[in-house]
């Protein structure tokens, strides 16, 4: 082989090797959050925490440490809604039922959903009543007297009629004694009185949760898709007053927010749910997502929670209730004449 041919062969081999190396180059994984987060992490607030996951877990965190926990790894369902009451009791909806426990985890009241039905949201009314929604072929809202275990009110809620699991996740009572319901399957927020009369309907595609605000506006949270996740304040005409699109958050991956709450300081707290049923179902220890953020009215992130490792592994987030926030929605509400 001539010298020139050997040079050509060497160049061809070198090019092939470089091409193979280029093909083997790993694309860097996009980080889900900054390495250094704003705020003091779990020590920023004292809070009650629960989330939709394969196991049913709830925590109370004070001064950055878990001071109370509820862990059920043998039952069924996911905790979609939970409320820590002023007396220390906890009401939670866990897909196949609604349960009230005391701080010692004793069951004070329980409701089991019938076969092919689900319960994902519940709210206490005083100490004697609970309002909750039951998904199913005929979805219904119930008001139960938990002292007598008697049903005091019920009415049918409209649905698409397909898919029990995706009908409802969240509802909350208003200061006027009505209830706002997030119709997830219909993509609407509706308000009903105690007799089931619809008073309001606002289009809100992908809505997961709804919260009445003191100014009479409505705070909604949901996601129509990976790039259209939102926390959105609207007035009663459905006009957007304030909106925070998760795709606009710099340096954060925030694909599935579920619940947004307005804090007493005017900021908004938004959870970031992790789907443990999808893909490997486990957090990448080198790329842990945040579980919640606090956002100012001018859309600055001033606090972020990321707590996935022992001794403070909180798991996926859905409910985050700040213990000392004056706006925390608890049992001091009424539904019509029921208090």
Answer yes or no: is 219 within a domain: yes
pLDDT at residue 330 in the model: 83
pLDDT at residue 106 in the model: 97
Answer yes or no: is 135 within a domain: yes
Domain count, the chain: 1
Q: Are strands 90-93 and 97-101 parallel, antiparallel or unpaired?
A: antiparallel
pLDDT at residue 16 in the model: 47
Could you list the residue range(s) of the whole structural domain that residue 256 is in? Answer: 41-322
pLDDT at residue 10 in the model: 43
- Tally the residues of the chain: 339
Answer yes or no: is 25 within a domain: no
Answer yes or no: is 5 within a domain: no
CATH code for the domain of 184: 2.130.10.10
Written as tens digits, the pLDDT of the chain (339 aa) is 554 554 344 444 445 445 444 454 555 667 889 999 999 999 999 999 999 999 999 999 999 999 999 999 999 999 999 999 999 999 999 999 999 999 999 999 999 999 999 999 999 999 999 999 999 999 999 999 999 999 999 999 999 977 899 999 999 999 999 999 999 999 999 999 999 999 999 999 999 999 999 999 999 999 886 568 999 999 999 999 999 999 888 889 888 999 999 999 999 999 999 998 987 878 898 999 999 999 999 999 999 999 999 999 999 999 999 999 988 878 899 999 999
DSSP, collapsed to helix, strand or coil, labels residue 236 as coil
Answer yes or no: is 54 within a domain: yes
Answer yes or no: is 336 within a domain: no
Residue 85's nearest CA partner among 339, 338, 332 is 332
What is the rounded CA–CA span in Å between residue 193 and residue 322? 28
Answer yes or no: is 282 within a domain: yes
Answer yes or no: is 21 within a domain: no
- Half-sphere CA count of 203, side-chain side, radius 13 A: 2
């Amino acid at each position: 082989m001539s010298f020139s041919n050997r040079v050509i062969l060497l160049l061809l081999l070198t090019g092939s090797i470089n091409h193979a190396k280029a093909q083997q180059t790993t694309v860097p994984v996009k980080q889900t959050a900054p390495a250094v987060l704003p705020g003091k992490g779990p020590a920023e607030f004292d809070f009650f925490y629960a989330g939709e996951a394969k196991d049913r877990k709830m925590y109370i965190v004070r001064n950055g440490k878990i001071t109370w926990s509820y862990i059920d790894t043998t039952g069924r369902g996911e905790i979609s809604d939970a409320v820590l009451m002023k007396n220390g009791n906890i009401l939670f909806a866990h897909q196949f039922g609604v349960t009230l426990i005391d701080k010692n985890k004793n069951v004070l009241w329980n409701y089991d959903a019938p076969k092919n039905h689900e319960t994902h949201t519940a709210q206490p009314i005083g100490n004697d009543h609970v309002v909750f929604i039951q998904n199913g072929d005929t979805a219904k809202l119930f008001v139960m007297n938990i002292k007598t275990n008697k049903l005091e009110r019920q009415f049918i809620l409209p649905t698409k009629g397909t898919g029990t699991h995706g009908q409802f996740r969240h509802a909350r009572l208003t200061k006027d004694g009505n209830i706002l319901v997030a119709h997830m399957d219909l993509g609407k927020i509706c308000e009903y009185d105690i007799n089931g009369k619809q008073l309001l309907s606002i289009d809100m595609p992908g809505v997961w949760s709804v919260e009445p605000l003191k100014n009479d506006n409505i705070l909604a949270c949901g996601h129509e898709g990976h790039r259209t996740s939102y926390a959105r304040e609207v007035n009663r005409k459905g006009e957007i007053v304030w909106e925070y699109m998760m795709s606009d958050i710099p340096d954060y991956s925030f694909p599935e927010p579920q619940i947004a709450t307005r804090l007493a300081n005017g900021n908004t707290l938004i959870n970031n749910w992790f789907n443990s049923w999808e893909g490997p179902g486990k957090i990448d220890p080198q790329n842990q997502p945040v579980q919640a953020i606090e956002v100012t009215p001018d859309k600055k992130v001033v606090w972020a929670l990321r707590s996935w490792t022992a001794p403070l592994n909180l798991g996926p987030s859905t409910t985050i209730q700040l213990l000392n926030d004056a706006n925390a929605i608890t049992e001091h509400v009424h539904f019509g004449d029921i208090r």
